[in-house]
Chains A and B, each alone.
Chain A
Amino acid sequence: MADKPKVFVVTSGKGGVGKTTFTSNLGCTLAKMGERVCLLDADIGLKNLDVVLGLENRIIYTSFDVVNGTVSAKEALVKHKQLKNLYLLAASQVATKEMMAPEDMKRMVQEIYDDFDYILIDSPAGIERGFRNSVAPAEAAFIVTTPEIPAISDADRVIGLLENYGFTEDRMFIVLNKFKANMAKRGDMLDKNDVEKALAMRLIGVIPDSEEVIIATNKGIPAVLEDGVVIGKSFENIVRRIKGEDVPIDDDLKGVSKGFISSLLSMFKKR
Chain B
Amino acid sequence: MVDFKMTKDGLILYIRDYTDIYTVLQGIDEKVKSMRSFFAQGDKIMLLVEEHEKHISDIPKIVSRVQELGLTISHVLMGSEGEKDVIIRKKVDMVNQGDTRSGTKIVKKNLRSGQNIIHSGDVVLIGNLHAGAEIVAGGSVVVFGRCQGTVRAGVNEGRESIIAALSFEAPFAQISDLKATFSEKIAFPCVLYVKVGRIEIGDYNAKIGGIYIE
Residues of A within 8 A of B110 (CB): 200
Q: Smallest distance from the beta carbon of A131 to chain B beta carbons, Å?
A: 13
Q: Smallest distance from the beta carbon of B185 to chain A beta carbons, Å?
A: 13
Interface SS majority for chain A: helix
Binds B, one of A108-116, A154-162, A215-223: A154-162
By beta carbon, the residue of chain B nearest A161 is: B114
Residues of B within 8 A of A164 (CB): 115
When the two chains form their complex, are residues B131 and A160 in contact, meaning their CB atoms are under 8 A apart?
no
Tell me, in angstroms, the Cα distance from A159 to B131 when the chains sit together.
13
Q: Smallest distance from the beta carbon of B146 to chain A beta carbons, Å?
A: 8
Contact of A153 among B111, B113, B128 (CB under 8 A): B113
Please tell me if B112 contacts chain A, counting CB pairs below 8 Å.
yes
Residues of A within 8 A of B189 (CB): none
Q: Smallest distance from the beta carbon of B132 to chain A beta carbons, Å?
A: 7
User: Chain B contact residues (Cβ within 8 angstroms of A): what range?
Assistant: 10 to 19
Residues 179-211 of chain A, each 1 if its beta carbon lies under 8 Å from chain B, else 0: 000000000000000000010100000000000
By beta carbon, the residue of chain B nearest A200 is: B110
Please tell me if B158 contacts chain A, counting CB pairs below 8 Å.
no
Tell me, in angstroms, the Cα distance from A200 to B112 when the chains sit together.
10
Interface residues of A in 141-168 (CB under 8 A from B): 153, 156-157, 159-161, 163-164
Tell me, in angstroms, the Cα distance from A178 to B12 when the chains sit together.
47
User: Chain A contact residues (Cβ within 8 angstroms of B): what range?
Assistant: 10 to 19
Interface SS majority for chain B: loop
When the two chains form their complex, are residues B113 and A160 in contact, meaning their CB atoms are under 8 A apart?
yes
Please tell me if B130 contacts chain A, counting CB pairs below 8 Å.
yes
Tell me, in angstroms, the Cα distance from A156 to B148 when the chains sit together.
12
Q: A161-B114, A163-B112 are in contact. Are A153 and B132 (CB under 8 A)?
A: yes
Question: Which interface residue of A156, A157, A159, A161 has the most chain B CB atoms within 10 A?
Answer: A156
When the two chains form their complex, are residues B131 and A156 in contact, meaning their CB atoms are under 8 A apart?
yes
Q: Smallest distance from the beta carbon of A19 to chain B beta carbons, Å?
A: 19
When the two chains form their complex, are residues A200 and B131 in contact, meaning their CB atoms are under 8 A apart?
no
Residues of B within 8 A of A198 (CB): 130
When the two chains form their complex, are residues A157 and B113 in contact, meaning their CB atoms are under 8 A apart?
yes
Residues of B within 8 A of A159 (CB): 112
Interface residues of B in 90-134 (CB under 8 A from A): 109-115, 127-128, 130-133
Tell me, in angstroms, the Cα distance from A160 to B134 when the chains sit together.
13
Q: Smallest distance from the beta carbon of A162 to chain B beta carbons, Å?
A: 10
Tell me, in angstroms, the Cα distance from A161 to B115 when the chains sit together.
8
By beta carbon, the residue of chain A nearest B148 is: A198
Tell me, in angstroms, the Cα distance from A128 to B172 when the chains sit together.
28
By beta carbon, the residue of chain B nearest A127 is: B114
Tell me, in angstroms, the Cα distance from A163 to B131 when the chains sit together.
17
When the two chains form their complex, are residues A157 and B128 in contact, meaning their CB atoms are under 8 A apart?
no
Question: Which interface residue of B112, B128, B131 has the most chain A CB atoms within 10 A?
Answer: B112
By beta carbon, the residue of chain A nearest B131 is: A153
Question: Which interface residue of B109, B111, B114, B133 has the most chain A CB atoms within 10 A?
Answer: B114
Residues of B within 8 A of A200 (CB): 110, 127-128, 130
Residues of A within 8 A of B128 (CB): 200
Q: Smallest distance from the beta carbon of B118 to chain A beta carbons, Å?
A: 15
Tell me, in angstroms, the Cα distance from A161 to B133 when the chains sit together.
12
Contact of A156 among B109, B112, B127 (CB under 8 A): B112
Q: A163-B112, A200-B110 are in contact. Are A157 and B127 (CB under 8 A)?
A: no
By beta carbon, the residue of chain A nearest B127 is: A200
Q: 19 A-B Cβ contacts within 8 A?
A: A153-B113, A156-B130, A156-B131, A157-B112, A157-B113, A157-B114, A159-B112, A160-B111, A160-B112, A160-B113, A160-B133, A163-B109, A163-B112, A163-B115, A198-B130, A200-B110, A200-B127, A200-B128, A200-B130
For the complex with contacts A153-B131, A156-B130, A156-B132, 17 further pairs of A-B residues with Cβ separation under 8 Å are A153-B113, A153-B132, A156-B112, A156-B113, A157-B112, A157-B113, A159-B112, A160-B111, A160-B113, A160-B114, A161-B114, A163-B112, A163-B115, A198-B130, A200-B110, A200-B127, A200-B128
Q: Point out residues on A near B: beta carbons under 8 Å.
A: 153, 156-157, 159-161, 163-164, 198, 200
